[in-house]
Structure 1
Amino acid sequence: MSQNNDFLRGLLPTAVDSTRETNVSSQPDTIWQHIVEETTVEAQREPILASFLHATILNHTSLASSLSFHLASKLGSPAAPAILLREVIEQAIAEDDSILSAARDDIKAFRQRDSACHACATPLLYYKGFHALQAHRIAHWLWHQGRVPMALFFQNRISIAFGIDIHPAAKVGSGIMFDHGTGIVVGETASIGNNVSIMHSVTLGGTGKEAGDRHPKVADGVLISAGAKILGNIHIGEGAQVAAGSVVLKDVAAHTIVAGVPAKEIGKPCCAEPALSMDHSIKP
């Protein structure tokens, strides 16, 4: 067995891990069941990837175990090996039930909204937008535990590994889809509600060197298209839509579309939650 395979095997769940996870809940995890079934088929279909698929999913007994292994293997570095980061990730998941619940909701979001996603296993295995979201949830937990250096370390590793920079203090809801994800930046005092879809190269940033509450607040059901820049302590109302390439400098009313530089209201979305429809067209 190669040195790399030895390393992967060292991160696989132990009998103790399996017992702990089994005792957490007696309810079946249907998302995890789908992931295992889909991955089993893929391992048979593509034997070259069988080792990867077994190490990442099929050798695990739960979503928690698989997720902690996969994130740690991507975020590990010579300064902080994956096996140590996995301990941190497992601790966060064990102490905060919302982390795994949000991960399931995010998987559903990708499966339902991304026309290129045909299986529940796909985001977990391959989508860096999903990986960055889950790793951010760990960093956010660390931040609120007072473990600021470790939270910032996670932020740095997320940025390097996935090209997505989210401050650990930023608040992110569940049912989130970072489609493609490349170049997304989320500032310290920003917040993102539930069931939000954000495309690549989106910035939720500040407007200068001011301190305090200085970043955007994005409500539930919002769709933010590629390249949009939303700057300052402003509110993007529920079910709003921000067109591609827009620069938003003031509040956006609920259930409206804004576009342009600077962005102006130009119409209404096609539905109450455009993040779910993923319809980026503009209908004045």
Structure 2
Amino acid sequence: MLINCLGNLIDLTTPKVMGILNVTPNSFYDGGKYQHETEILKRVEVMLTEGADFIDIGAYSSKPNAEFVSEEEEVNRLLPILKSVLKEFPNTIISIDTFRSQIAKVSIENGAAIINDISAGSLDEKMMETIAKFQIPYIMMHMKGTPQTMMSLTTYDDIVKEMLFYFSEKVVQARSFGINDLIIDPGFGFAKTTEQNYEVMQKLQLFQSLELPILAGVSRKSMIYKPLESSPEKALNGTTALNMIALTKGASILRVHDVKEAVECVKLFSLMSL
């Protein structure tokens, strides 16, 4: 599977690693940790050195019950960092974590190569039109509601069946706009209980029926640390375990806070398919 990132053809046959760069004060794990330019650039340098294929920059926390952030504030947080990262590391493939079409547009115009949308276009009717205009890869995640309401929307008759239907509709919609490169994200932790997250992980291979790359984002989430009665800070081992399971079930991209460990997962997984 190939995706076109501003002229760079990326082969997802070998799984890739997406490093998370949160520039928000309230992210569930590293909120407020990277606020100054020097700290941010150092963090990006570390992730790239450790083998990150993509850097995913987010300026709006999507944790449950996250505070609302205005579009103006989101762009003011995001744009200087995007420009700074690309100035310092010009060959970096940047993904922007946003559900707003205007933020996507401005980001792409300033060098972003991928848009990562937690709502798959549901929260901004102009998003798919914008993606189609610029023809960059589009990550569509499964979520119900908004970050503020999603955890009250966890009722399903058959969660995987309903998610497959959701993605089928989203793919048809995206193709109708002329979007070529699509990636699906099951949205672990979004409008899902802990038990539902594990059911989705157990059946993750079923999403291969969509014939699209799958992104798995479980890094340090509550589905790991709550069953272990731990915390996000102590959830690296659990994250690594689930990342390997996701790879065996067909994940093409691991979205993580800890790049080195994820890259090691990919290397060891790749040995199994030699």
Under a length normalisation based on structure 2, what TM-score does the superposition of the two structures give? 0.26
The structure that has the greater radius of gyration is 1
Under a length normalisation based on structure 1, what TM-score does the superposition of the two structures give? 0.26
